[in-house]
Structure 1
């Protein structure tokens, strides 16, 4: 019984496999394009396959009629984008015909498959013209959102017909009408001592914003760039260090009593003498802490409204360790002894410490900018 069941299962799979590869199942489901493609593929490898030979002429005829019907329906519709539907269907007919032409045995079953090359080219032009008109209409609404819509229409028009007159200028016009222009004010700090370190922080921010790709429709400018290019900015991004402390120093000492047994402390006639050695071990840890607060604000220059105002905190702690001992050094392990050979070192210069605590602030700032401007 098991053998019969398995045989039936494999027969079923074989029938199913043949039906799929010849396009018979696709034809029965009304997917005529797929039926043509599967039948052509089958006939390329097996030119005398009866199922595929039966499927191809019927599926091809139904596929062409279906696409031509959709073309006729689209031509009389009021859809502004109807030419894209028409173009798609002409392209599908041409693709199906190319598939048949690439299979010698298929041409015996479907001689002279039709091609609509000129009709497809004309449809491309008509589709591009329709997108161009929609783009112009959206651009006349004179706001950023409609300019973005116009930009996408013009890009689509160019993809259909790259040589369409004036299309590149229209794309450019729409893009700049859609772009949100943001001027970035240099980070303010009330300290000449840390001016160079602050300039380094500002340069890092400027470099990121100069290469910003988070949103196509947002561009950042320094104040100098905006003035030079006569940019009429939409927003101002303000940065200001409200508060910071550099180089707060803390030194901690921890004392441990060390003891080690079974250490050779001498010799006698009978051999080595073992005993216990001890030491007082002092561990020193110096921490130099630096921290600050950056105020980050976004202001709408058309309304003077504050759109975002946040304080971003950053901290950097430099740490140094060394040790000393009194007593027998044999009470110390290797790591403990190595630390006693180390001497106290000077912390980095204040300017370097300033840069270090601004690094986490920079990371937070970039995250905030990416999040805020993703909505535009």
Structure 2
């Protein structure tokens, strides 16, 4: 009994020490213990921990705000605003909990939050105006992202809308997609149709990149920034290749017995034969597309590439004939002879693949352009 009491006393001391040495690791501790205290208002442990968590997290955030003021790194007002917002969220969590309010006095920083939000928005607008004043597409794109961020910070600021539209107009990149019909018009047009279907919807193209055919650019007096040209080096379907190989088999098969001299028994054999014929045929279509990007303003090629693809149709089958007893174990008919696809079907398969390659290359080019604006 004495041992049990000693152990119990030790555990109580351990718990007390543990509670005394507890420290908050996150602002979420304030939310957590506010909920717990709301459910169990008489729980001293929850009260103590809420008091400690709020005090520690409030002091921590205020120190971080002071550090940000001292460092004054780009767009530091946004981080300051986020921290004041967090301070007020913790305060409101306590304010809306009657049991918590009896134990902890929340401190609000609403005027500081509003002031930091205004400063954060103004800083983004000023950064955008500075970039826009450099009067280049790349800097207009950078300005656009600054204005969009400012609008997200302060949606009620209607003056930012015109800045967003202006930077978007200046930063828009116009690309003419120009197919070369000298080798094959219809299949080049297929690639064009696919590009006009895919590229404007691609995530990479939004919001700055627009695409035009040469006719559209001429009719609308569009002065392109880049011209993307492409065409076939070749597109061909080979002849059908067919080959068969035969393998013959023969075997002596016991079909009975006969007696000799009424005593001796002699087996009777019959020779059987069979044949395995393995056949295959194939038709290969292949094509190669060239691709280049021209800087229209400087009239120079800045990117070139080629893309190859093939469609190799293969058909294989096996037939057996003759006496199956002469054939190896497992030999049987397999597969069947099929009609080769039309040349148009194979051309379509190749065109789809090559169109995807050209589209991928253009989107890669756009991604690199976007990366410059985001840096």
Shorter-chain TM-score: what band?
Answer: 0.7 to 0.9
Q: Which region of structure 1 is more displaced relative to structure 2, 327-336 or 41-50?
A: 327-336
* 1:87 alignment counterpart: 81
Q: List aligned pairs for 1:269-348, cutoff 5 A.
A: 275-321=270-316, 327-328=322-323, 336-337=332-333, 342=336, 345-348=338-341
Residues 60/155 of structure 1: CA separation in 2 closer, same or farther (3 Å cut) = same
- Alignment equivalent of 1:178, drawn from 162, 171, 174: 171
Residues 218/346 of structure 1: CA separation in 2 closer, same or farther (3 Å cut) = farther
- Calculate the TM-score normalised by the size of structure 1: 0.75
Q: Let me know the Cα RMSD of the aligned residues.
A: 4.3
Gaps of 5+ in 2: 259-267, 370-375
What does the per-residue CA deviation read over 1:284-320, in whole Å, with 9 as the maximum and x for residues that have no partner?
A: 3221111111111111112222222122111112223
Question: Secondary structure at 1:158's aligned position in 2?
Answer: helix
Q: Which region of structure 1 is more displaced relative to structure 2, 80-89 or 140-149?
A: 80-89
- Alignment equivalent of 1:214, drawn from 184, 204, 210: 204
Residues 274/202 of structure 1: CA separation in 2 closer, same or farther (3 Å cut) = farther
Provide the C-alpha distance between the structure 1 equivalents of 2:130 and 2:110, rounded to a whole number of angstroms.
Answer: 31
What does the per-residue CA deviation read over 1:24-72, in whole Å, with 9 as the maximum and x for residues that have no partner?
A: 412xxxx685664454344234323334434545664665566667768
* 1:365 alignment counterpart: 358
Verify the 8 A CA contact 1:187 1:202 in the aligned structure 2: no
Provide the C-alpha distance between the structure 1 equivalents of 2:221 and 2:325, rounded to a whole number of angstroms.
Answer: 76
Q: Aligned-pair distance for 1:204? A: 2.6
Question: Secondary structure at 1:109's aligned position in 2?
Answer: coil
Verify the 8 A CA contact 1:93 1:116 in the aligned structure 2: yes
Gaps of 5+ in 1: none
- Alignment equivalent of 2:195, drawn from 205, 211, 220: 205
Question: Secondary structure at 1:171's aligned position in 2?
Answer: helix
* 2:265 alignment counterpart: none
* 1:140 alignment counterpart: 133
* 1:245 alignment counterpart: 236
Provide the C-alpha distance between the structure 2 equivalents of 1:368 and 1:214, rounded to a whole number of angstroms.
Answer: 12
Residues 13/353 of structure 1: CA separation in 2 closer, same or farther (3 Å cut) = farther
What does the per-residue CA deviation read over 1:186-218, in whole Å, with 9 as the maximum and x for residues that have no partner?
A: 253524xxx444433432333221322135455
Does the alignment pair 1:255 with 2:220? no
* 1:47 alignment counterpart: 41
- Calculate the TM-score normalised by the size of structure 2: 0.75
Verify the 8 A CA contact 2:294 2:302 in the aligned structure 1: yes
Residues 282/59 of structure 1: CA separation in 2 closer, same or farther (3 Å cut) = closer
Residues 209/365 of structure 1: CA separation in 2 closer, same or farther (3 Å cut) = same
Residues 313/335 of structure 1: CA separation in 2 closer, same or farther (3 Å cut) = farther
* 2:226 alignment counterpart: 235
